[in-house]
Chains A and B, each alone.
Chain A
Amino acid sequence: MNEAQSGGSAPLVLIVDDDETARVLTEAVLTNADFRVVQAENGRQALDAFRAERPDIVLLDVSMPVMDGFEACQALRRLPGGESVPVLMLTGHDDIGSINRAYEVGATDFLAKSNNLEIIAHRVRYMLRAARAFSELEKNRKGLSSAQRIARMGGWEWHVDSDRIFLSAEVRDMFGLSTADSEAKAERFLSYVHRDDREAVHQAVLAALRGTRPFDLQHRLTLPDGSERQVHSKAEVSFGADGRAQNLRGTIQDVTERWLAEQKIHNLAYYDSLTGLPNRLMFRDQLDRAIARCLREGQQLAVMFLDLDKFKRVNDTLGHSVGDQLLAAAAERVANCVRGTEMVSRDAARLQAAEETRGVQARNSPHVGRLGGDEFTLYLEDVGEPQNAARVARRILAELSRPFVLGQHEIVMSASIGIAVCPADGKDVELLLGNADVAMYHAKEQGRNNYQFYSRAMNAEAFQKLSLESNLRRALEREEFVLYYQPLVSVESGVIVGAEALIRWRHPEMGMVPPQEFIPLAEETGLIAPISEWVLGEACRQAATWRHITAQLVKVSVNLSGVNIRQDTMPKIVARALATSGLEPRRLKLELTESVLMRDAESTLVALKKLNDMGVQLCIDDFGTGYSSFSYLRRFPLHTLKIDRSFVRDVPGHEDVAAITGAIIAMGHSLKLNVVAEGVETRPQLDYLREIGCDEYQGYLFSAAVPAQQFEELLRREKEIGALMPARA
């Protein structure tokens, strides 16, 4: 070694040769070229020298006693640090046969000894440079690999023509995929994309291939073990000379952790930690979007401002901890009220639910927010009519009035609620919340524990409706309902063949309330079920007495609403009414409107068949006003078709209408149905109906709807006339 010449940083070469002349000459060449040199005479010495000196490169003679070059090279490769050191194998002057062997044992390169000594220096220099480049590459690769591992990122490549995707080892490791996944049909990898995200990924790929949009999106993966990950995928497309996309080369990064952290931050920023409800910021944001939807769809939206009455007293007397618990519990009850509303509104078939604000559509979880302190806000989308909001408000008040049991405390609370309606009371968040707040103060002024609309008119309407609703509830108990009967008369003989039972409400203060004023409310509140049951029972009871008056078969018709027929219990209720009254089933006729029949034709069909099997007759009411499927009409076990009064009103004057009426009757007869006309008021109308073959009619021409007693009078009088004129055809 020649330290003076080479300097500390010069590369160190280990020369291994048993031939001293060779060692001396090689050393001379290398020191001339500014390398540092150590020597060894054989393989064994070489290994010791390697451990001790850590040379940058090893020159290894093949043919040596003790341990030859091949053996030494193999042993060297197994030493720590020896696996990557460049080894130049020096073969004999003419020993070509050793070359293959040299590579087999792990030599980096070989050189045949020759008198051209300089070549050794060049070769060593070249090999060191190559080794450095290689180690840097290796370092970069390892660095990249660990960077990717740390960043939870990997690479992939999608060959468009073969439709195959190649995944890097990092991707496989990250997602626990098998080696079979590392190169597979694109479909296989896409199957790991979350079902709901597949379309988005597919569209992103197409857009990228078309070159319209870079591939850059976040989506989810569903891994073979069933777990879900959030990933960020990015890729570049390379296009061939023909302009077609050839492949998509990209990265995929697992951002699940970050996503979860973001969610957490989002929750902290947008949710109230005490109640778990959206905070002011989040609520306003949600409301803003809901208002936009409301205005766009032309719906109505109700905003409520709720303040717990005298909450401060709880905090002052029982402490903040109890106050907080109370707030959380109250928030839960309020949220449940709104949530319940939404569930119910989806299940229109459930009658008892109608009370719970039909029409309030749910889009998401309850839209309730905590504004701060003891103030809550909520909104109801697509509320239908504002009175539905009043119903929710009443429910919230009722819920909050139940005592709260917190530890050993039992606290009774109430709240004041203000309601503003969009668009009537405002079309933006500010105005609606502000007006709801104003309305809430009205509620406080009214003595708390109540709700107020911002609009006075709505308050009045709400009051009226509320009182009507509670009156309607009591009407059954107080027996305020009565039945009127309108006779059905045979067109041909003029004889009474039946009567349509029509309900009236004899209100103690309002007098006689016509059905169109309370039946919709009854349907809405679910009171239609007990009312209908009463009507059926009463009609059957009275009709059963008619046989004592006349031998004629006089049927009684009862109207069923759509709500009734969808009740599973309907056939049972009918059977009970018949059994209790003793009325023969064939004397009971149930009328359903066309639209009710068609709304849920299949399930209605089941109910109608049951009723038909009992021997009850079925009539389609208001025929011609709705849309009917002829095939359903044929399948329904109908007995009678009742033409809507609008077809009768204009005959015989209007020829068009007359033609249609004629066609309806013909159709009815072709279906073997009994055809009835209602609203017959004039003699020419009746004459025309007779002309076109209508079977029965009802209307003022014969009689208005009359109380039961009066109807019985009609029957009696007819019997007397019939006795006088037995010959009437």
Chain B
Amino acid sequence: MHLIRFALVGRALRMLAMEDNPVAEGLDRRALDTIRALEKPGSGAVLQRVLGIYLKNSPKLVQTMRDAANVGDAVVLGNAAHALKSSSLYVGAAWIGALCREIEAAARSTPPVISSALVAALESGYPRVEQLLRAELEQGKA
């Protein structure tokens, strides 16, 4: 059981350590292209709406995860990780999505594991993703 837990967390840390990971470099442009493809005359700026929603909700989710990790609430941590994972994958924030998947999996394993190291990695990495997405948003508006 412990071996599995350490394996999960270890895999996430190794992923973070890979400097040349293209996902870590920035955004999955294919995901953004998919969303752009949905934009048809009359359907409005879907990408802008989605990015707006993401940028508004995500900091709250990161904060929730931090608080949950601090108080040791695995359920709240898992739920928040799940929510952030899902939306991150939609908007091409693959690195955040992958990290959240690991956090969620650990939090929902039996017994639950609260990986403060991963949450800390998320906190430190999120601003960069936010910056990139905001750039996309601005670019779309222009």
Contacts and interface: CB of A to CB of B under 8 A. Distances in A.
Contact of B50 (A4, A5, A24, A31): A24
B49 interface: yes
A29 B85 CA distance: 21
Contacts of A22: 86-87, 90
A2 B40 CA distance: 13
B86 A93 contact: yes
Contact of A25 (B35, B82, B97): B35
A630 to B, nearest CB: 106
Interface in B94-121: 97, 101
Interface in A371-414: none
Contact of A21 (B30, B34, B91): B91
B90 A25 contact: yes
A65 interface: yes
Contacts of B34: 115-117
A297 interface: no
Contacts of A157: none
A32 interface: yes
A12 to B, nearest CB: 18
A93 B34 CA distance: 16
A63 B79 contact: yes
Given A21-B91, A25-B46, A93-B89, A115 B30 contact: yes
Contacts of B86: 19, 21-22, 92-93, 113
Nearest to A116: B34
A31 B43 contact: yes
B46 A21 contact: no
A28 interface: yes
A63 B87 contact: no
Interface string A107-140: 0000001011100000000000000000000000
A94 interface: yes
Interface string A1-45: 010110000000000001111101100110110000000000000
Nearest to B46: A28
A21 B42 contact: no
Given A22-B90, A24-B50, A24-B53, A117 B38 contact: yes
Contacts of B30: 115
Interface residues of A, number: 23
Interface in B57-94: 57, 79, 82-83, 85-87, 89-91
A124 to B, nearest CB: 15
Nearest to B51: A21
Overall SS of chain B's interface? helix
Given A19-B83, A116-B34, A24 B89 contact: no
A21 B53 contact: yes
Contacts, number: 62
A116 B38 CA distance: 11
A25 B50 CA distance: 7
Contacts of A65: 79
Given A20-B53, A115-B90, A28 B43 contact: yes
Interface residues of B, number: 26
Contacts of B57: 20-21
B126 interface: no
A18 B89 CA distance: 15
A144 to B, nearest CB: 45
A21 B38 contact: no
Interface in B13-51: 30-31, 34-35, 38-40, 42-43, 46, 49-50
A92 B105 CA distance: 12
A314 to B, nearest CB: 99
Contact of B82 (A31, A92, A116, A117): A92
Contacts of A25: 35, 38, 46, 50, 90
A94 B50 CA distance: 22
Nearest to B90: A21
Nearest to A94: B101
A514 B137 CA distance: 143
A351 to B, nearest CB: 107
A20 B82 CA distance: 13
Contacts of B53: 20-21, 24
A94 B79 CA distance: 15
Nearest to B35: A25
Contacts of B42: 2, 4-5
Contacts of A31: 43
Contacts of B91: 21
Contacts of A28: 38-39, 43, 46
Contacts of B43: 28, 31-32
Contacts of B38: 25, 28-29, 32, 117
Contacts of A4: 42
Contacts of B79: 63, 65
A113 to B, nearest CB: 7
B90 to A, nearest CB: 5
A29 B36 CA distance: 11
> Which of A18, A19, A63 has the largest count of B CB atoms less than 10 A from its CB?
A19
Most buried by B among A2, A32, A113: A32
A599 B49 CA distance: 116
A24 B31 CA distance: 15
Nearest to B44: A28
Q: Which of B39, B42, B86, B91 has the most CB of A within 10 A?
A: B86
A21 B31 contact: no
B49 A24 contact: yes
Contacts of A92: 82, 85-86
Nearest to B83: A19
Nearest to B32: A115
Contact of B54 (A21, A63, A115): A21
Nearest to B30: A115
Nearest to A90: B86
B76 to A, nearest CB: 10
A63 B90 CA distance: 16
A94 B54 CA distance: 20
Interface string A319-356: 00000000000000000000000000000000000000
A708 to B, nearest CB: 133
Nearest to B38: A28
Contacts of B83: 18-19
Interface string A680-714: 00000000000000000000000000000000000
A32 to B, nearest CB: 6
Contacts of A21: 50, 53-54, 57, 86-87, 90-91
Interface in A83-106: 92-94
A93 B85 CA distance: 9
B123 to A, nearest CB: 21
**Which of A5, A31, A65, A116 gathers most chain B CB within 10 Å?**
A31
Given A21-B90, A22-B87, 6 more contacts: A4-B42, A21-B53, A21-B54, A28-B38, A28-B46, A31-B43
Interface of B: 30-31, 34-35, 38-40, 42-43, 46, 49-50, 53-54, 57, 79, 82-83, 85-87, 89-91, 97, 101
24 contacts: A2-B42, A4-B42, A19-B83, A20-B57, A20-B87, A21-B53, A21-B87, A21-B90, A22-B86, A22-B90, A24-B46, A24-B49, A25-B35, A25-B46, A25-B50, A25-B90, A63-B79, A65-B79, A93-B97, A113-B86, A115-B34, A116-B34, A117-B34, A117-B35
| Shortest beta-carbon contacts, A-B, top 5 | A21-B87, A28-B38, A28-B46, A20-B53, A115-B31
Interface of A: 2, 4-5, 18-22, 24-25, 28-29, 31-32, 63, 65, 92-94, 113, 115-117
